[in-house]
A and B are shown apart, each in its own frame.
Chain A
Amino acid sequence: MRVRLRLRLAVLAVVAATLVAMPFSGTTQALSGSQFQPGRIIDDAIFFNSGAMNTATIQAFLNAKVPVCDTNHAPGGGFSAPFICLKDFRQDTPARDVSPGLCNGFGAGNKSAAQIIFEVAQSCGVNPQVLIVLLQKEQGLVTDTWPWPTQYRSATGYGCPDGSPCDAEFYGFFNQVYSAAKQYKRYAMNPNNYNYRAGFNNNIPWHPNGACGTSNVFIDNKATAGLYNYTPYRPNDAALNNLYSTGDGCSSYGNRNFWRYFNDWFGTTFGTVLIKGSGPTVFVRGSNSSVAYGIPSGEIMRNYRLGGIPVTGVSDSYLSTLNTSSMLTTLYKRPLDQTVFLADSGTGYGIPSGAQCTKWGRTCSIPSLIADLPYAVTDPMTVGPPLGNLMMFDNTLFALESGAKRPFIDRNEQPLSPWAGQGIITIISPVNAAQSGGQALIYDRKFLKVMGTGSIYYHSGGSYFTFSGFENFKNWWDGSVVMSDKYSTFNSSPPAATILPGFATTGSETSMVGSKNRLVLPGSTTAPSINTTTYPQLTNLIQSKPVVTVNDTKALAFPNGAIVTVRGNTFRPIPTLADLRLLFAADSVIPVPMAFLEAYPVGKLFVTSGRVVKPNEAGGSMYLYGSDNYLWALGNLGELSSSLAWTNSVINAPFNVIEHQGIKIFASMMKMNGNYYAVQPNGAVRQLAGTLLSANKDNIAMPVTDVITSKVANDTRPVGFIRLDNGTIFKVESSSIRPIGALSTYFSLGGNGANTIHMSVKAVSAFNVGSPL
């Protein structure tokens, strides 16, 4: 029973002790050397986080590490009591001047170690935890219960080469801490001046003994480069595999111990970049860890390439301790750098001056608009060239002026502009191209379409011309290259422009500017025309197209199918396709735009002589068109069939569109080229000797000219007899025709089908009629 009671006592004691100890358990996970990343020992966001602790928390930390100082320890190392632990250490500190870009100076006074650590951290922008760990890894000062004066004298190992005495110039606790912090800042500010650089391949020895060799390390960030610059050795596997002990003869421990102590005492050396409370807003940490910037949109996030970075959840109460009053824009600064950058899709473009910032429509003089971001955010960004005056966005080249973006209507015109030869920054993010649109930049003769209004303009010689419609525009330009303008002021305030008519006059010549060619009019026109004497800037455009002279050999084909010819400053429609073929060669048919219709009034149908016309109102009556502009009425189907033999088509049209002086009766007789012919039923003609004909012949014979004469077959056989359609037969004599009384006479005189022609009774009056035979 007693044994069991003791056992229970022991169990209870163990349980109680465990429960009591739990809240003070330090690290929750054992640190392993395999976690050491030689290129990323610590992130910049942690290393330069000067606000990580304050004097009170530093003091509390030092107190906690050495709860009881062994002040009266026995003499050792040549030193005697009293020994002063770091938590109790004080010294008179000298004043230090400001070192621009490095440290903000230091005030004189009698200060504790915690005060010195804190104030140096604030002055130089270094995490006080870094300085605490530095004191420990260099001299073991933080955990030493009876430290020696020499440990304070060279507290951070500054000026202490391996194998040689320390440099007296840097003796003293404050001197050491301040010098080390300032040196870390030098490494970050002027990385090119030191041995190891972030973003470079670095050759780092394992040990001061050169025989141990070196290794190549790509250093991720400035803080890690700083650690290697301060302690230029990399821990080898033996040192890392025995993280809390010693390795082998080539092991170095400085950077290992820095990393180990920092992890053991202050947690991870990797900084969180994005944080979020219970609200929807994600914040990016500032380089000052007490500041976080709300990220207003995914677009802003993309500009910093923050999309792939995990977001760490934090409590709202913690978030409330941060200054979150500013939102992230695309303007930012890097730590230790006063240059303002413009972030655009992962590239940072330095803004060389406030004036340049204004040009881009931004304000660089208001701190709340510019995020001070940590290296963890800024280092992964590509550094682009400084912002100049030219921006390429949305395939448009812009010149930035007074906060507005002036689009080049044609980017190839940059060499003509005041910005010739200047560099161009390509902007991806719309938020960086949100400047208001400025005046369009357009130098050469160009057509542009203003997208905001849909209007198209031609710019030449400083003047703008516009068009009454798209058809009109197409006539002036074949549309092959028209620049779009989405951004200039023209979109809201159109330019003063002259509306181009369809015609242009140069000197005495008036022409229509067509899409493919220029149609020179044969005579004067009443259509609106623009004169190149007034607008010489149009001359080039007008004269750039091949000339087609319109005359009566040309048929003009309109897009609606109408085909006309010009006669006497009048459009005369060609009645049918047969007329077109009859009158014009294929290459004389010229396509013309509808607007060409403005050139002349439209007259009556252009009917050539010899054509069969069937007026709509004539009840089926048909006429032959004579070159005397008379309609010659056909009396029977025989006359019709003979006429159709010439063109085989009929023009159907009302009387009022057929130009005619009146109606005559067709008598199967016509006059061509000064000769008179009898029209035969097959359409062929037989010439009649002029001596046979009376003075009335021109009233009887229908005159024809032009092309029809070539369509009529001329039967040249001699005409000996004329047989009228009433059966009367005449003998053709030398100067008259004489009626034949009997058919036998006809035959006896040698009449036959070959020498006998057919004519209408109506034709008789055209002849000199002699006495009967």
Chain B
Amino acid sequence: MIRFIVVMAVWMKKKATPSKRRLWGAIILIALLLVAAVLAWSMLMKPAANTDQDKKALPSPTVNYNPATEQEKADSEQHKKELEQKAKQEQAGPQLGVKSVIPIISSWGQAPDQKDLEVAAFIPGSYEDGGTCTLTLVKAGAVITKTTAGHKDVNRTSCARFIVPYGELTTGTWEATVGYGSATAKGTSAKQQMEVR
């Protein structure tokens, strides 16, 4: 890059008058200073390489050491606005009565060994221990019901996994729903078809 600036300077020198050459000299000097500053900055930003920890670290050619983009800064600012809004909602106090929730049947499948049907579910909008989760399976008039306890997960209530022994099932398609009930929340999931083989 320096070579390029020198070439440009020579080119300008041939084309300009003496006064303009002085101007060009100043410009080139500024450009060189800019380059030096950038190089120095990049050296400062380069991770130190003398500690034991550094020796353990892998080279990270893909790590982006650029300053946050305007978009990223805007994301942070937007987040704070959402925090303010959430704080206001929280200040308004909790919802009175029993909140209506819609449990989600998150995963299901048969265990590879015993073929028991395993069903997992959680309740968005709820974060508590002590509620009751109820799995209902229906097929051609047959009804199977299993209950487990709800518990706090990272940011929601999750039901302990339902396990329906294979011996209680017949092969074919079962229609499943999960209900949740507690002192503060109540609701039933959408129906979910589950194939039992």
Q: List the interface of chain A (C-beta within 8 A of B).
A: 5, 8-9, 12, 15-16, 19-20, 23-27, 49, 51-57, 60-61, 63-67, 76-78, 118, 136, 139-145, 147-148, 150-151, 157-165, 167, 180, 183, 192-197, 200-205, 208, 210-211, 214, 229-232, 244, 257, 264-268, 289-290, 318, 321
The reply to whether B107 and A200 contact each other, CB–CB distance below 8 Å, is: yes
- For chain B, the count of residues having a C-beta within 8 Å of the partner chain is 75
Q: List the interface of chain B (C-beta within 8 A of A).
A: 1, 4-5, 8, 12, 15-16, 20, 27, 31, 34-35, 38, 42, 45-48, 51, 53-68, 71-73, 75-80, 83-84, 87, 89-90, 94, 101-102, 104-109, 118, 120-122, 124-127, 152-156, 158, 161, 190, 192
**Given A52-B58, A65-B67, A266-B60, residue A12 in contact with residue B8 (CB < 8 A):** yes
The reply to whether B64 and A140 contact each other, CB–CB distance below 8 Å, is: no
Q: Pick the residue among A12, A57, A151, A211 that contacts B47 (CB under 8 A).
A: A57
Give bound CA distance, A160 to B42, whole Å.
39
The reply to whether A203 and B107 contact each other, CB–CB distance below 8 Å, is: yes
Q: Provide the residues of chain B in CB contact with A183, threshold 8 Å.
A: 154
The reply to whether A161 and B126 contact each other, CB–CB distance below 8 Å, is: yes
Say what secondary structure dominates the interface of chain B.
mixed
Across the A-B interface, give the 9 residue pairs with the lowest CB-CB distance, nearest first.
A267-B62, A210-B102, A140-B76, A161-B127, A143-B68, A195-B106, A54-B53, A144-B76, A26-B64
Q: Provide the residues of chain A in CB contact with B48, threshold 8 Å.
A: 56
The reply to whether B38 and A20 contact each other, CB–CB distance below 8 Å, is: yes
Q: Pick the residue among A25, A54, A203 that contacts B106 (CB under 8 A).
A: A203
Give bound CA distance, A210 to B99, whole Å.
14
**Given A56-B54, A193-B161, A205-B104, residue A67 in contact with residue B67 (CB < 8 A):** yes
Give bound CA distance, A49 to B58, whole Å.
10
Q: Pick the residue among B38, B106, B125, B154 that contacts A202 (CB under 8 A).
A: B106
**Given A64-B45, A161-B127, A203-B192, residue A143 in contact with residue B73 (CB < 8 A):** yes
Q: Provide the residues of chain A in CB contact with B38, threshold 8 Å.
A: 20, 23
Q: Provide the residues of chain A in CB contact with B63, threshold 8 Å.
A: 53, 57, 61, 265-267
Q: Which residue of chain A is the closest to B94 with respect to CB atoms?
A: A164
Q: Pick the residue among A16, A165, A244 that contacts B34 (CB under 8 A).
A: A16
Q: Provide the residues of chain B in CB contact with A64, threshold 8 Å.
A: 45, 65-67
The reply to whether A143 and B72 contact each other, CB–CB distance below 8 Å, is: yes
Q: Provide the residues of chain B in CB contact with A55, threshold 8 Å.
A: 53
Give bound CA distance, A52 to B16, whole Å.
53
Q: Provide the residues of chain B in CB contact with A26, threshold 8 Å.
A: 64, 66
The reply to whether B65 and A51 contact each other, CB–CB distance below 8 Å, is: no
**Given A51-B56, A53-B57, A151-B83, residue A200 in contact with residue B76 (CB < 8 A):** no
Q: Provide the residues of chain A in CB contact with B190, threshold 8 Å.
A: 210, 214
The reply to whether B73 and A321 contact each other, CB–CB distance below 8 Å, is: no
Q: List 6 A-B contacts (CB under 8 A).
A: A20-B35, A56-B54, A140-B76, A203-B108, A265-B64, A266-B60
The reply to whether A318 and B59 contact each other, CB–CB distance below 8 Å, is: yes
Q: Provide the residues of chain B in CB contact with A290, threshold 8 Å.
A: 56, 58
The reply to whether B64 and A202 contact each other, CB–CB distance below 8 Å, is: no
Q: Provide the residues of chain A in CB contact with B1, threshold 8 Å.
A: 19-20
The reply to whether B27 and A76 contact each other, CB–CB distance below 8 Å, is: no
